[in-house]
Structure 1
C-alpha cells in the first residue's frame, strides 16, 4: 500500500508541475508579445524623438 501511495503522489506532483510549466510558457509568450508591441506602438516626444512606453 505504501509504494502505491508514493507512486500516486509522485504522478500527481509531476502532473501539477507539468501543468504549471505549460502555463508559465504561455505567460512568457504573452509578455514577449506585449513587450514587442511596445516598440511598434510607442509615442514620440514633442522634440521628435522616440519615447519609451514603459517607466523603468
Structure 2
C-alpha cells in the first residue's frame, strides 16, 4: 500500500493530475499508519499484520 501510494503520488505530480496526487497521499498515509500499528504488536482486524 505504501509503494502504491508513492507511485500514484509521483505520477500525479509528473502528469499534473491532482486526483492521483491526493489518492496517492491518502494511500501512503494509511499504509504508514497500518505499518506503525502492526509493528507495535497491536492486532488490526484480528490480525497482527495487515498484509
* Structure 2 length-normalised TM: 0.47
* Structure 1 length-normalised TM: 0.44
Give the greater-gyration-radius structure (CA): 1
